[in-house]
Structure 1
Amino acid sequence: MLDDLLTNPRADRVKAVRALAGRSVRRRSGTFLVEGPQAVREAVAPGGPRVHDVFVTPDAEVRYPEIVDAALVAGARVRTGTPEVLDAMSPDAQGVVAVVDLVQAALAPVLAARPRLVAVLAHVRDPGNAGTVLRASDAAGADAVVLTASSVDVHNPKCVRATAGSLFHLPVVTGPELGEAVTALRTAGLQVLAAAGTGSHDLDDLLDVAGAAPAGVPDLTAPTAWVFGNEAWGLRDEDLALADAAVRVPLRGRAESLNLATAAAVCLYASGRAQR
Structure 2
Amino acid sequence: MSVVPLAAGNDRLKQIRKLSRRSERSERRLFLADGPKAVEGALGVPGCVVEVFATASGADLVPSGVDVTLVDDRALASLSDSVTPAGVVALCRFVDRPLTHLLQSAPRLVAVCADVRDPGNAGTVIRTADAAGADAVVLAGTSVDLYNPKTLRAAVGSAFHLPVAVEPDPADVVRRLQAAGVTVLATAADGEVALHDAGDLLRAPTAWLFGNEAHGLPDDLAALADHRVSIPIHGRAESLNLATAAALCLYESARVRRG
Fold match by TM threshold 0.5: yes
**4+ long deviations beyond 4 Å:** none
Out of 102, 105, 121, the position equivalent to 1:110 is 102
1:181/1:15 Cα in 2 relative to 1: closer, same or farther (>3 Å)? same
- 2: CA distance, partners of 1:263 / 1:11: 46
1:161 aligns with 2:153: yes
Q: CA deviation at 1:155?
A: 1.1
1:246 aligns with 2:231: no
1:48/1:160 Cα in 2 relative to 1: closer, same or farther (>3 Å)? farther
8 A Cα contact 1:7 1:84, kept in partner: no
Q: CA deviation at 1:147?
A: 1.1
Q: Deviations over 1:232-271 (max 9, x none)?
A: 0100110111101111112222222111111111101101
The alignment yields a C-alpha RMSD, in angstroms, of 1.5
- 1: CA distance, partners of 2:163 / 2:183: 19
1:25/1:65 Cα in 2 relative to 1: closer, same or farther (>3 Å)? closer
Unaligned segments of structure 1, at least 5 residues: 73-77, 214-218
Q: Deviations over 1:142-173 (max 9, x none)?
A: 10111113211111111111111111111111
Q: 1:1-276 to 2 correspondence within 5 Å? A: 2-45=1-44, 47-62=45-60, 64-66=61-63, 68-69=64-65, 71-72=66-67, 78-92=68-82, 93-206=85-198, 210=199, 213=200, 219-276=201-258
- 1: CA distance, partners of 2:3 / 2:81: 22
8 A Cα contact 2:48 2:95, kept in partner: no
Q: CA deviation at 1:7?
A: 4.7
8 A Cα contact 2:81 2:149, kept in partner: no
TM-score by length of 1: 0.88
Report how many aligned residue pairs link the two structures.
256
8 A Cα contact 2:140 2:166, kept in partner: yes
Q: Residue 272 of structure 1 aligns to a residue in which SS?
A: helix
Q: Deviations over 1:51-84 (max 9, x none)?
A: 111011111213x242x52x34xxxxx2111222
8 A Cα contact 2:99 2:167, kept in partner: no
Q: Residue 202 of structure 2 aligns to a residue in which SS?
A: coil
Q: CA deviation at 1:49?
A: 4.2
8 A Cα contact 2:53 2:88, kept in partner: yes
Q: Residue 5 of structure 1 aligns to a residue in which SS?
A: coil
1:48/1:234 Cα in 2 relative to 1: closer, same or farther (>3 Å)? farther
- 1: CA distance, partners of 2:153 / 2:47: 16
Q: CA deviation at 1:6?
A: 2.4
- 2: CA distance, partners of 1:32 / 1:238: 34
Q: Residue 115 of structure 2 aligns to a residue in which SS?
A: coil
Q: Residue 59 of structure 2 aligns to a residue in which SS?
A: helix
8 A Cα contact 2:103 2:180, kept in partner: yes
Question: Which letter maps to 1:253?
Answer: G
Q: Residue 213 of structure 2 aligns to a residue in which SS?
A: coil
TM-score by length of 2: 0.94
8 A Cα contact 1:49 1:168, kept in partner: no
Q: Residue 184 of structure 2 aligns to a residue in which SS?
A: strand
Counting aligned pairs with the same residue, the percent is: 48
- 2: CA distance, partners of 1:184 / 1:271: 21
- 1: CA distance, partners of 2:97 / 2:256: 27
